[in-house]
Amino acid sequence: MLHMFWRKIQKLNPNQFLLFLFLIFFLTMMMNYKSLECKLDYNSQTGHVRSESCRNLYYQDLKLEASGKKNCSRIIRGDQDEVRKTMIDNLIVANRRVLATERDYLEITKNCRNFKKLKKYVTFSLSDEERNFPIAYSMVIHDNIEMFERLLRSIYMPQNVYCIHVDMKSSQTFHEAVKAIASCFPNVFISSKRESVVYASWSRVQADLNCMEDLVNSSVDWKYLINTCGTDFPLKTNAEIVKGLKLLNGKNNMESEKPPSYKKRRWEYHYEIKDNVVQTKIKKTSSPLNIPIFSGNAYVVLTRDFVKSLFENSIVKQFMEWAKDTYSPDEYLWATLQRFPEMPGSVPIHMKYDTSDLAALARLVKWQHLEGDMEHGAPYPVCNGKHRRQVCVYGAGDLNWLVQQHHFFANKFDPRVDDHAIQCLEEYLRYKLFYGKNL
Ligand SMILES: *[C@@H]1O[C@H](CO)[C@@H](O)[C@H](O)[C@H]1NC(C)=O
Ligand SMILES: *[C@@H]1O[C@H](CO)[C@@H](O)[C@H](O)[C@H]1NC(C)=O
């Protein structure tokens, strides 16, 4: 049978032969296309993947493989020899990768399809559970376009919605490049209002508020809002974040604790805001909320109703007005509203509800003065990267500890300090996105 078929093919003239080749080509393309249409949803009854081969096909197409010879699986598992190789590589200046520039992004985004393909964006949801639970992101950034784009790619899902606040002080080309990237996605946009963010001033809160207002007005039916800055990177996949958010049961989640006494002057005095924030001798009245001030940080996980209330509750609006001339309101405003009974998803002011940064889900940060030997009581091991403003910029050697924590995001990452760490996290998360297990 096959023999006869072969003889027939040999008798074909060149034109017929070409047609035959084309037919074969067409058929294989069709089969490829069909197989790429396979369903990726988990089977909710058994929790098992419907089609492993289908998953493999997608993963081959969309995997984010770290460059060089390093083995990210080993690095994530804490293999010290493998980590040491990346540290040595970081010392060799000639090995340093040139980061993508704003011009590069302006160029590649001219064709959005190619851009998404080249950068391997996941443009379909992986489960009904995620599809039915959209998340809103407020991203406040000012420079480092490559880091921003890699962060966006790592959290991008078509059902979510992303608002980007670009600092007024950022260069025109940076703004253009972010606009160009956003224009490739229907669910990514730039905030309608822009602030010039001054360190430790109200403007940091206002930047998030600008995005929050746009997000509340967006047509996407998002359930929770997460804010990020340009040096954050996720530790969890979208599926894991959705599961975590559902377990919150309608509560917000963030650091919120009794403040140390040295911080109290930050809201007890009037501050002047110029190029930086300067304390004056003028005492402020107490806050219009009839509860104490709690301390926390700028990174929060908020329910949609909480975000809506920010623009509707008149006492909350007075509180925000009152906070505008204080020092670093981002570090107490959310933490205090989280304890205000009128705010949706808040928790009682009793100290039993105090939540430390390590107990909260929002952000994992290694503060230099708390690093140390965990066997001697330190909350976390020593930073494997470098310190900036007393905060660890993570190295590949931090990954093993990072991925064992429950936090959705960690801060800080910088490809100029350790690109290996980010690359391995990208590879790890993409693998987990498709297979639901560790690399
Ligand atoms: C990386 O290391 C793991 C664990 O030792 C091993 O199973 C895997 O094959 C390695 N991967 C590569 C690409 O060498
Ligand atoms: C959001 O919607 C409200 C009510 O429709 C409107 O007053 C407000 O101006 C809108 N905000 C923005 C930033 O579009």
405 lines ligand 1 (CB under 6 A): no
Lowest mean pLDDT across 15-19, 75-79, 294-298: 15-19
pLDDT tens-digit map of 155-195: 999 999 999 999 999 999 999 999 999 999 999 999 999 99
| Least confident segment among 24-28, 81-85, 362-366 | 24-28
Q: How far is the CA of 161 from the centre of ligand 2 (A)?
A: 17
| pLDDT value, residue 47 | 47
Predicted local distance difference test score (pLDDT) of residue 57? 86
How many alpha carbons lie under 13 Å from residue 439 in its C-beta half-sphere? 27
Across all residues in the chain, what is the average pLDDT? 93
pLDDT one-digit tens code per residue, 362-408: 999 999 999 999 999 999 999 999 999 999 999 999 999 999 999 99
- Percent of residues, the chain, with pLDDT higher than 70: 95
Q: Is the Cβ atom of 285 under 6 angstroms away from ligand 2?
A: no
CA distances from 345 to 304, 305, 306, 395 (A): 9, 8, 7, 35
DSSP string, 154-199: HH--TTSEEEEEE-TTS-HHHHHHHHHHHTT-TTEEE-SS---PPT
Which among 150, 96, 39 is positioned nearest to 429, based on CA atoms?
150
Nearest-5° Cα angle at 400, 399 to 402: 60
Q: What tens digit of pLDDT does each residue of 210-241 get?
A: 999 999 999 999 999 999 999 999 999 999 99
User: Is the shortest distance between the CB of 77 and ligand 1 below 6 Å?
Assistant: no
Question: Domain residues of the chain, as ranges?
Answer: 51-96+363-406+408-439
* pLDDT score for 68: 87
pTM score, two decimals?
0.89
389: left (phi over 0), alpha (psi -120 to 50) or beta: left
Whole-number Å distance between alpha carbons of 161 and 136: 5
Report how far ligand 1's centroid is from the alpha carbon of 431 (Å): 14
pLDDT tens digits, 274-330:
888 999 999 999 999 999 999 999 999 999 999 999 999 999 999 999 999 999 999
Q: Which atom of ligand 2 sits closest to the CA of residue 192?
A: 13
pLDDT in tens, 198-207: 999 999 999 9
Ligand 2 midpoint to CA 217 (Å): 6
Q: Is the pLDDT of residue 28 over 80?
A: no
Q: State the catalytic residue, choosing from 331, 371, 375, 427.
A: 331
Question: Which residue minimizes the CA distance to atom 12 of ligand 2?
Answer: 214
Residues facing residue 234 across a β-bridge: 409
Q: Answer yes or no: is pLDDT of 46 > 50.
A: no
Cα 384 to Cα 400: distance, rounded to the nearest angstrom: 11
Question: CA 258, CA 261: separation in Å to the nearest integer?
Answer: 9
63 lines ligand 1 (CB under 6 A): no
Ligand 2 neighbourhood includes 312 CB (under 6 angstroms): no
- The Å distance, Cα 97 to ligand 1 centre, comes to 24
Angle between helices 415-435 and 238-247 (to 10 degrees): 80
E-strand stretches of 25-157: 135-141
Instruction: Give CA angle at 381 (375, 385), nearest 5°.
Output: 160
Determine the distance separating the centroid of ligand 1 and the alpha carbon of 161, expressed in angstroms.
36
How far apart, in whole angstroms, are the C-alpha atoms of residue 332 and residue 255? 9
Active site residue 52: no
Report the percent of the chain where pLDDT is more than 90.
Answer: 82
Q: How confident is the model at residue 5 (pLDDT cuts 50, 70, 90)?
A: confident
| Ranges 40-54, 78-92, 424-438: which has the least confidence | 40-54
Q: Assess whether pLDDT exceeds 70 at residue 32.
A: no
**Number of the ligand 1 atom closest to the C-alpha atom of 71:** 1
Mean pLDDT, rounded, for 6-35: 75
CA separation for the pair 37, 31 (Å, rounded): 10
Atom 7 of ligand 2, nearest CA residue:
217
